[in-house]
Amino acid sequence: MKAILFFALGLVILVSSCKKDKPEDDQTVNNGGQSQGPMLHLNTSLTVHKLV
């Protein structure tokens, strides 16, 4: 009887754990799919040059 109870408890914990994982997986996929489109980058160059 105890073995059956432990087995049932383990099953409940396993199912519960799987349900928690699912939304996190979905969230990760959604974030990765976002795009800001083309970007303007401003780079710096610090060099010795004479200006006209």
Partner 1 sequence: MAAGNGAQSPVFHGMSSHYIEFAPDQWTQLGDGEIIYQGAETTAGGASAVDFDQATVAGEGTVFFSIPLADVTPGTYEWVRSSLTYQNYEIKYKAQGFNLTGRLASFVGFNTYISSHTIDNQTVTVNANKAQGYWAFETAGQVSSGDAAQTTVPNPISSTSPIPAGSCVVTGQFAAPLTITGNETEDITVVLSLSTNNSFEWSDSAQNNIFEPLAGDTVVDMGLRGLVPIIEQ
Q: List interacting residues with partner 1 (CB under 8 A).
A: 36-51
Distance CA 6, CA 12 (A): 10
Pick the closer one to partner 1 by CB: 5 or 46: 46
Pick the closer one to partner 1 by CB: 18 or 52: 52
Instruction: Please give the helix or strand (H or E) that residue 14 lies within, else none.
Output: helix 2-32
Pick the closer one to partner 1 by CB: 2 or 49: 49
Q: What is the smallest separation between the CB atom of 11 and partner 1, expressed in angstroms? A: 49
